[in-house]
A = this chain, B = another copy of it.
């Protein structure tokens, strides 16, 4: 195994994300790499095509508000119980991001097509939705096994980078994602997968009957960095809940451009940068 598999810092990990990358991230609570997102914001990367699987919250809102995102591909961008995503909504009004609005299973299907090396996957539903009108990359055909039975085909989507946070990794690069299985699909589909983890364990996750079923094999993992509570202020499945107070604070701050800028300064740069 490559000696450089485990990066010295989260900052070093995210340095592999180039300008203009198609960056794929999971939904809130299922392994969002927030420490890595802050590291990304401290760097200069921009012009990202952000693909949320299938939705995103504060992670997308921060990246969009900071002007790092050119294209947003998602089934939803929202802070959930803390309200709409203020920076995203401002960017939409200002036409500062290109929207690829989708529906959850379409995003899963496009990634699964890439996971299988297929050019496309079919999906039921969709027909008559305005989503289809605005997605010329989706095609409608007549189901060859039916009669006069239209069905939509979605092109494979192969992310440049899949980025997520998980509980455990071992020194072979295996990553335990547990129930957050979409992270496995994201890694299978992507060209490069970068992962932050709560901790590195000293046993082989794939050799353990109980861990193996929830483990992404190291085969798909480019690089790992340790980030304790790396999903904060979001939660991590089976480890810790979201920090509701902080998310409420963010929602209030991001309601204005000035508040958003202040949040960035205080929570991403400044003393937070030193601490992470």
Contact = CB atoms under 8 A, between A and B. Distances in A.
Interface stretch (A67-75, A208-216, A241-249): A208-216
B213 A181 contact: yes
A18 interface: no
A179 to B, nearest CB: 5
Given A155-B145, A209-B179, A121 B119 contact: no
Interface string A122-139: 111000000000000001
Interface string A88-128: 00000000000000000000010000001111111110000
Contacts of A149: 119
A256 interface: no
Q: Which of A124, A181, A210, A238 has the most CB of B within 10 A?
A: A210
B151 A145 contact: no
A144 interface: yes
A210 B238 CA distance: 9
Copies of this chain assembled into the complex: 2
A44 interface: no
Contacts of A109: 116
A151 B119 contact: yes
A141 interface: yes
Contacts of A53: none
B120 A121 contact: no
Interface in A132-188: 139, 141, 143-146, 149, 151, 153, 155, 177-179, 181
Interface of A: 109, 116-124, 139, 141, 143-146, 149, 151, 153, 155, 177-179, 181, 209-214, 237-238
